[in-house]
Structure 1
Amino acid sequence: MGETATLKRHSSKSSGKQANGSSMANVTSSLEEKLAEKEEREKLVLWRRPIQTLHYFVRECGILFVEYMIKLWNNKRTVLLVSLLIGSYYLVYKTPGPHQLVLQRIEKEFWWCSWWVWLGILSSVGLGTGLHTFLLYLGPHIASVTLAAYSCNSVNFPSPPYPDDIMCPEEDVSQGKDMSILTIMSKVRLEAFMWGAGTALGELPPYFMARGARLSGYDPDDEEMAEFEELQRLKERPEDMSFIDRAKLSVEKLVERVGFFGILACASIPNPLFDLAGITCGHFLVPFWTFFGATLIGKAIIKMHIQKMFVIIAFNESLLARAVGLLAFVPVIGAKLEQPFKTFLEKQKQKFHRKPGTGPTTQDDKNILAWIFEKLILLMIIYFVLSIVNSFAQSYHKRIHKSEREKKLAQD
């Protein structure tokens, strides 16, 4: 929706409430000011206004730091209890004894699970953009385990070095035993579930935002709830709906009418419109555990099993060899594409079968595919960090203009 749609939306919302011309003029003036603020805020990015953006980013970080310090002080009993628990664990961890082996194993599992939960949250929340951590981390991890499982004919990778670096077990593996998809799925079940749980946690902010707005009776301005509000108004004008609007409305109707199972259905498939489902659940005051339970089951169990199966089948040894062979039929560049992929797969197999304690050769590091993938990850992370800086700067811009409007209203 452009500026005209926004003006129409606010004008229709205000019609019936404002009777005289003077009031309408004030409303129009207020709308124009908000639109001007929005345009200015959208220009507040590092590649347009680097100095101002960085300045606002630092100011917003300072405000958020103070706010969170105040929250910690207000909950000092909880903070003290957590600190005592961490201190007690540290003392027990440092005390010599047989229990240290158990604690070290627990610590390793804890950080391993926390890493994947964190990546899932980044993929789902993203502060406006999202870091596609499935494509960058979990998908390649599952693919690597799949290649190793077929190459080693086993999933009993020694730990360490797995999961940091996968090597075939030293004992002989029966060659007559076929590697099954379910066996590989069970090997990556923990990290896949944790990543899915992280994506479910990342869906909570839209839910709480809409729920808080509904309970407080406060009508949020700007882009936070504009999409949801516009969709509600488009229900009365179905002829103005685009295909995307109809898809969004279908998601809303499914969630609103079916409840738990509607949320479960939306969360169980790759769904870029799921943020709208969270806003809808919050707006209609769907109980928290109904929303989060359905989201967790859908994303961490059902959808993750579908995604795992897709990656494992795609990286099946025979299927992958056929796919690489088909690259030769691509006109002009086919032969040039086929050779790097073959080299990459051969070097991966060599890495899986090397002896413990020996690192990868220097030639492995020069593979063009690995180099491209590393640079892709670097670019994605840089873009994600830049988006966070822009988002914080725009949040501070919104904060100061909101404060100015409140001061004007207080003076009037």
Structure 2
Amino acid sequence: MAENGAEHELSQRRVGVKEQQNGKFADPSLAEQKRRDREERLQLVLWKKPVLCLHYFLLESLITVKEWTRKLLQQRVMVLAMLLVLVFFSIAYSIEGTHQKYVQYLEKKVLWCAYWVGLGILSSVGLGTGLHTFLLYLGPHIASVTLAAYECRSVNFPEPPYPDQIICPHDEAAEDSISLWTIISKVRLEACMWGAGTAIGELPPYFMARAARLSGAEPDDEDYEEFEEMLEQAENAQDFATRAKLAVQTMVQKVGFFGILACASIPNPLFDLAGITCGHFLVPFWTFFGATLIGKAVIKMHIQKLFVIITFSKHIVEQMVSLIGAVPLLGASLQKPFREYLEAQRAKLHHRAGEGTPAGENWLSWVFEKVVIIMVCYFVCSIINSMAQSYARRIQQKKHSEEKTK
């Protein structure tokens, strides 16, 4: 009986939302006004209007801080519990005793996990545009551990977090062979934490769409508007992208837990709308988050780890360098810096304090460092642009509401 009542309530909400959507999209003047407003907001970027963009960004940041503060004040019990935990660990951290080694071990583990969870959140949370932290941080980290494992014939490096440089262990018997499983086990913690962070980054769209569906209010989010328009045009969709998004939406809606798990378990660029889809169709939270967490932090991460480890295995790397030399005209000139880079990395793995400075890095490492800096700067700029455009949207909505009241 309870399930029938819930289904009836959901069907009534769907009818009401459908009528609201039909009325909204039936007004051509409203659609045209929204299109003009969106084009006007997209012009508000740092490289076109830097002063106004920064001004709006600061105002939107203040509004966001106020909203977060208000929400935290509503969760007094949780905030109090967190404060008590922090006070307890502060006391334990400051008092001398035999427990200090356990406190320091716990501190390192927590900070290490928080670092990778944070990078995972930045990869999928959608602050303007996602920061590709797998390509910039986790992928190179797994690659460096893989290269070190084959060079040292051991994975007995210091426990995470690693020092600035991974150093081959000494005074220990080297293992005869390195298997994929030993390397996977070595990087499992950071990889799973990164995957958990990407799952957490999918929650804001879910909560936004769910709250909008339950309240019947129009959410202040362009991705949700795109989702509604996609549902309106479902029957007449012609392009491949729209049909692919609709296929993902149908799978998530009809198959449920296992549909979400299947979409989250593979590198899927169309998963961006999964949170909105699940929130819009009132999929239970633990069904959505549980499937997303298992898919991204366990299944997908092991697939990505295997790909990186196999790609950077010793014999594969040597074959790739040999193939570079076979490229006509440029092969020899490109092969040399790659070999020098690999030799420099191997020398660093055996470098210890008091043995002098290892060989300097070549232009490949310099280029990679500059690419990382450029991508991080672009990510920061995209956040500023996105928040400035959000404030511009507030101004436009206020202006339209004032015009309606006149």
* TM-score, shorter chain, exceeding 0.5: yes
- Give the aligned partner of residue 257 of structure 1: 254
How many matched pairs? Answer: 388
- Give the aligned partner of residue 188 of structure 1: 187
Please, which of 283, 297, 300 is the counterpart of residue 303 of structure 1? 300
Instruction: Rate the CA distance shift 1:248–1:29 in 2: closer, same or farther, 3 A.
Output: closer
- Give the aligned partner of residue 24 of structure 1: none
Please say if 1:131 is aligned against 2:131.
Answer: yes
Could you list the per-position Cα deviations for residues 260-301 of structure 1 after superposition, in whole angstroms to 9, with x for gaps in the alignment?
110000000000010222211111111000000000000000
- Is the contact made by 1:155 and 1:184 (CA closer than 8 Å) also made in structure 2? yes
Residues of 1 paired with 2:79 and 2:297: CA distance? 30
RMSD over equivalenced CA pairs, Å: 2.2
Matches within 5 A, 1:22-37: 27-37=27-37
Runs of 5+ unmatched residues, structure 1? 1-9, 18-26
Please say if 1:266 is aligned against 2:263.
Answer: yes
Residues of 1 paired with 2:355 and 2:326: CA distance? 38
Matches within 5 A, 1:6-25: 13-14=22-23
Amino acid at match of 2:122: L
- Is the contact made by 2:152 and 2:174 (CA closer than 8 Å) also made in structure 1? no
- Is the contact made by 2:142 and 2:187 (CA closer than 8 Å) also made in structure 1? yes
Residues of 1 paired with 2:357 and 2:226: CA distance? 51
Matches within 5 A, 1:26-175: 27-159=27-159, 162-174=162-174
Please, which of 368, 372, 379 is the counterpart of residue 377 of structure 1? 372
Residues of 2 paired with 1:96 and 1:309: CA distance? 43
Deviates more, 1:248-257 or 1:116-125: 248-257
- Give the aligned partner of residue 198 of structure 1: 197
For residue 394 of structure 1, report the CA deviation from its aligned partner.
Answer: 0.3
- Is the contact made by 2:206 and 2:278 (CA closer than 8 Å) also made in structure 1? yes
- Is the contact made by 1:234 and 1:241 (CA closer than 8 Å) also made in structure 2? no
Amino acid at match of 1:134: F
TM-score with structure 1 setting the length: 0.89
Instruction: Rate the CA distance shift 1:35–1:359 in 2: closer, same or farther, 3 A.
Output: farther
Matches within 5 A, 1:181-330: 181-220=180-219, 223-237=222-236, 240-330=237-327
Instruction: Rate the CA distance shift 1:290–1:276 in 2: closer, same or farther, 3 A.
Output: same
Amino acid at match of 2:327: V
Residues of 1 paired with 2:403 and 2:313: CA distance? 65
Instruction: Rate the CA distance shift 1:76–1:60 in 2: closer, same or farther, 3 A.
Output: same
Runs of 4+ in 1 over 6 A off after TM superposition: none
- Does the residue aligned with 2:70 lie in a helix, a strand or coil? helix
Instruction: Rate the CA distance shift 1:231–1:29 in 2: closer, same or farther, 3 A.
Output: closer
Please say if 1:394 is aligned against 2:403.
Answer: no
Runs of 5+ unmatched residues, structure 2? 1-18
- Does the residue aligned with 2:275 lie in a helix, a strand or coil? helix
Residues of 2 paired with 1:75 and 1:262: CA distance? 33
The share of aligned pairs that are identical, in percent, is 56
- Is the contact made by 2:109 and 2:160 (CA closer than 8 Å) also made in structure 1? no
Residues of 2 paired with 1:161 and 1:347: CA distance? 23
Residues of 2 paired with 1:298 and 1:387: CA distance? 28
- Does the residue aligned with 1:273 lie in a helix, a strand or coil? helix
- Is the contact made by 1:161 and 1:167 (CA closer than 8 Å) also made in structure 2? no
